[in-house]
Chain A
Amino acid sequence: MAMSNPGNRVTQGQFSFLPELTDEQITAQIKYALDNGWAVNIEYTDDPHPRNTYWDMFGMPMFDLKDPAGILMEINDCRKTFPNMYIRVTAFDNTHGWEAPRMSYIVNRPPNEPGFKLQRTERDGRSMGYTITSYAADKPEGERA
């Protein structure tokens, strides 16, 4: 079973509507971040809930690593370690007025993306409360793949 959206996948990040990025394409994007002076960070999670802000960091943001090939090695290391997780590459800009991520794109996904449950809670009148939960996070943390 796949998600019902046109790409059958979680569409977060800059490039989720494009075919899976090749290592060459990932390297070009890393180079763009480094050329802008941004620090690249690798994060992974098994819960892609749209409000799950804090994916786990695969090490620290690579403030001092200026070699795209070195960063790609880290990404591939993370993919090897967590092949069934969502992995994203984020680039942080520390210039005044930004001090925030400037890039974020997914470079790894689980083979099966179960998607999200929409829970409706009927309230006063016809008003509705909505809660979205990840099917992937249904199981206790210790029992997930």
Chain B
Amino acid sequence: MSKSSETMAEGKERYQAGVIPYKKMGYWEPDYEPSATDVVAMFRITPQPGVDHEEAAAAVAGESSTATWTVVWTDRLTACERYRAKAYRSELVPNTGEGTDTEAQYFAYIAYDMDLFEPGSIANMTASIIGNVFGFKAVKALRLEDMLFPVAYLKTYNGPATGVVVERERLDKFGRPLLGATTKPKLGLSGRNYGRVVYEALKGGLDFVKDDENINSQPFMHWRDRFLYVMEAVNRASAATGEVKGHYLNVTAGTMDEMIERAEFAKSLGSVIIMIDLVIGYTAIQSMAKWCRANDMILHLHRAGNSTYSRQKNHGMNFRVICKWMRMAGVDHIHAGTVVGKLEGDPLMIKGFYDTLREGYTPMSLETGLFFDQDWASLNKVMPVASGGIHAGQMHQLLHYLGEDVVLQFGGGTIGHPEGIQAGAIANRVALEAMVMARNEGRDYMNEGPEILNAAAKWCSPLKAALDTWKDITFEYESTDTADFVPTATGTN
């Protein structure tokens, strides 16, 4: 059988008016080897019943690059073979299909020539990769699992405005996770009351306090009031401790102009950090990252909205892809899971996110969900933020799973302390420093964690109160987004 009958039709046959399978239009090339200048996307495809999985992969390649539903002769005016995305591999996802409870899904690898994308534009790249194709009828469900970006393409992005290294140097904080908290209640406090929470938490020992994602400028608190009172609190706490302190002032607003106005005001008051929400969109994020780079500002991103498309396994996109895009777009902080807290997070998947944000090179690692060897081209590292239902009693687990380049955010775990906010902050800081010290001393801190915390609680009564209050609080639910591959034992016997 000739190759052309299976895959690409040629010449006159290919360009006859009408509808032909995507495979025959040249979007399926099983022999193709991605070049060093190809962007590669890996999709999880659930084909419609009766649709061949290779045809589905070709259709996804077609719809996310040059194809339309019918043949167009105008293709022949272009170097169309170059611009066609090429699906080159499609394989059954483990534990799906016949004999399982899940309908067949396929991992499809699709290569795109770098010239398909405008340099330095997340919006342009995503308009292709997740543009029309997710609503395409030939696939029942579709999920973008991972992407590989060539160094040449990555170099068209600035990357994080500040990055982990410079953030630490600017804050003069090394060798331990940073500590934060989100002001609670998230809605309803006046500016004056809001600043009280910030002052108490920072003076007690936290490095950062944070606006929540939906604190912008509401009837109970105008944004300027918040900024003014918060910066009074930040500066008072800094003078009281001799440390650089910060508060993520959320500049999210209805228009770019308003966001820039708020960012400028934060800068004029001496804030070291501002904040945006993922829902402002990729272009706005890139614009704010450029502004931060030009104004010596750290940029915190709250991932508001991501679970609408990242949580379910069969459709949407994996959060690791968001991590990659946000590192390129240029944020310095991103919420990326806690493992032990109240929000979604399988330990191995979260390791994959954290590695994507913090490493200079991430090798393929199927058990953590990384499908490609990715060279990060010296783009700055992003500081992951762990937030949501964590407390001092979990410090050993947090340090073990998340490492030291992370912001640990104890909102309820600070503000809900029975002896007050400062006491909550002290408890967290003492627990953190005691655990880091024990780790550095070579102790088996993961197993001895409770012991280490109890020993510190003997001389630190706020820590004792924290441990007593939250000792039984855990969030043991099954994760929905888990690895498809399990590490295989490599016994030598």
Residues of chain A at the chain B interface (Cβ within 8 Å): 3-6, 10-12, 14-19, 25, 28-29, 32, 48-51, 53, 90-91, 96-105, 115-118, 126-130, 132
Verify if B80 is at the interface (C-beta below 8 Å from A): no
Produce 1/0 per residue, B432-443, CB < 8 A to A: 011011001110
**Chain B positions 170 through 198: 1 when the CB is less than 8 Å from some CB of chain A, otherwise 0:** 00101110000000000000000000000
Which residues of chain A are near B268, meaning CB under 8 Å? 127
Chain A residues within 8 Å of B367, by CB: none
| C-alpha spacing A14/B459, complex, angstroms | 18
Q: Considering the chains assembled together, what is the distance between the CA atoms of A115 and B238 in angstroms?
A: 10
- The number of inter-chain residue pairs (CB within 8 angstroms) is 117
- Which of the listed residues B172, B238, B242 has the most CB atoms from chain A within 10 Å of its own CB? B242
Q: For the complex, give the distance between the alpha carbons of A97 and B238 in Å.
A: 29
- 13 further interface pairs, Cβ-Cβ under 8 Å (given A28-B441, A100-B174, A128-B232): A14-B174, A16-B433, A17-B205, A18-B433, A28-B442, A32-B442, A90-B174, A101-B175, A115-B240, A116-B242, A118-B239, A130-B231, A130-B269
Contact, CB under 8 Å: A6 / B205 = yes
Please determine whether B437 and A25 come into contact, CB atoms closer than 8 angstroms. Answer: yes
Which of A10, A99, A118 lies at the interface centre, i.e. has the most chain B CB atoms within 10 A of its CB? A118
> A129 to B174, Cβ gap below 8 A?
no
Tell me how many residues of B have a C-beta within 8 Å of chain A: 42
> Can you list 8 A-B contacts with CB-CB less than 8 angstroms, sorted by A residue number?
A6-B205, A10-B243, A12-B243, A32-B441, A50-B244, A103-B174, A115-B242, A126-B228
Measured CA separation A35–B253 after assembly (Å): 48
User: Would you call B241 and A10 a contact (CB within 8 A)?
Assistant: yes
Do most interface residues of chain B lie in helix, strand or loop, or is the interface mixed?
helix
How distant is the Cα of A121 from the Cα of B436 in the complex, in angstroms? Answer: 39
Interface 0/1 of B336-380, CB less than 8 Å to A? 000000000000000000000000100000000000000000100
Contacts of A15 in B (CB 8 A): 433, 436-437
Contact partners of A102 in chain B: CB under 8 A:
174-175
A105 to B422, CA, bound (A): 22
